[in-house]
Each structure stands twice: as C-alpha cells, then as structure tokens.
Amino acid sequence: MIRTESGFDRREEKIVDEVPVGLVYADDLFAVMLATPTDLEDFATGFSLSEGIVGSAGELAVTAIDELTDGVRIRMQLPVERLAALLKRKRNLMGGSGCGRCGTDSFAETLRPLDPVRSAARIEPDAIIRAMAALPSGQSLNRETGAVHAAGFARPDGELVAVREDVGRHNALDKLIGALARARIDTTGGFIVVSSRCSFEMVHKTAAAGIPLIAAISAPTSLCVGFAETVGVGVVAFVRQGRLTVYAVPSRVAMPV
C-alpha cells in the first residue's frame, strides 16, 4: 500500500531477492554470504580472487550452482596447492549483505597486507564524473526495486565497460571483479565507480584486483583512506553534481595545475 497526496493506493511492487549463498570449495563450506542470487559465477570468481583463494580466474572451476530451499550453494574446485593453502586458513563465515570482513578470527587476517598496485594510471576528473553519471544506466535491478548497490568498471576516458548489482556493496564489487577476470579485461588503466560509501574492504578488493582507483558517490572511512595510501589506490568520494573530493593518493587523479 502506498500513501499519496490524494490518499492510499494498492499496487504490486517488486522486492529484491536476498538469500544465503554458500561458497563451497571441494565439498568444504568456506563462507555463507547474504546476496542477490544473480551473476553467481561472477560472484564466486570475484570472491575467490578478493580473498586470495586463487590468483587468477583460470584456477577456479565452478562445477555446480544448486538452488536449495533456503538459499543457493556454489560448488567449486581448486588446484591441489590452492586447496591445501585454503584448508590451512579455513574459517566458516556468515556474512551479511553489508558485511565485508565478517568472521575473520584475527586482526592480521582482517588487515592482511597486499602488494601496492603497479599502475601509472592518472585519471581525469571529468572521466570520473562521466563514469559515475553513467552508472545508473546499468542499474536495471535498482530501477525496479530501489534496493541494490552497483559497482562499475570504467576505461580511463570514463566509458563504462561493465556493471554488477547486489544488495551488498561488497558483493556487487566481487561480482564486477569476477566478471572482469572471466572476460580477461585489462584493468590496470581503468577505475571503479560505486553507488555507496567507500570502506576498507572496498579498497582491499580494488587493490587485490590491481585496479588503481575507486570512486564512490558517498563518503570514505578513515581505515579505507589509510589503507589506500599503503597500497597506492586512489580514493575519490562524493562524486555527484559535477563535483568530487580526492581523499587518498592524489597522484592517481590528473588534477589541473
């Protein structure tokens, strides 16, 4: 039921799906995330890359996606050495749709270091503004429900290459990273745009993917900014209405002299 100026109205509304998604490696449940059950092979690939479980999409084989009565299970296989390393660090994790590092059992695991991003990319401010302005065009699910986040990848000139959506901003970014890896798209010169705030985990995933800059429509966190400086990821936030604010690694943005 919807209240309007003239009273109340009854109509059908689409509600976005949010279900438990179990990530299973060689019959071992590693994590359960609450997510939108779309682009699940992209999600599994991106999650595995972001977590350091695999080093490339080619090391991961998604063998089955099972629809269960209470959720979805994604079954995957890994090379022997990758599986052995995973079993050493295994943690069962229940991750909410807004959760990025839930379930880790130590500060070291949460803040695990990454190599700095090796890219000489410098992105023009206009390209960032252009990509963010184009992001809604790839948000078909959000237009229907008003309930999901989006992550997009843009070329240096601001042209959007891919967009993925999910109720969780971290999940949307994992889906995007997985899609880019599976399509073998070179990401070293482009950048990420997201329809959310920018947290530590968003920068961690961006750095793990070797992408030099992330731009958010909303604010960053202090941990995000500090970590971004250590890994060389530019953080740009409040990208809206033709404006933006650079918070970390300003050399990633080609600011006018």
* Contact call for residues 158 and 131 (beta carbons, < 8 A): yes
CA distance 168 to 18: 9
What are the two backbone dihedrals, phi and then psi, of residue 198, each rounded to the nearest 5 degrees?
Answer: -115, 110
Candidates 99, 102, 198, 224; catalytic one: 99
Q: Rounded to 5 degrees, what angle do the CA atoms 119, 249, 102 make?
A: 90
Task: Identify whether the C-beta of residue 231 lies closer than 8 Å to the C-beta of residue 117.
Answer: yes
**Where does the chain have alpha helices with state H?**
40-50, 80-88, 107-110, 125-134, 140-145, 169-182, 200-208, 222-231
99 is catalytic: yes
**Residues acting as catalytic residues:** 99
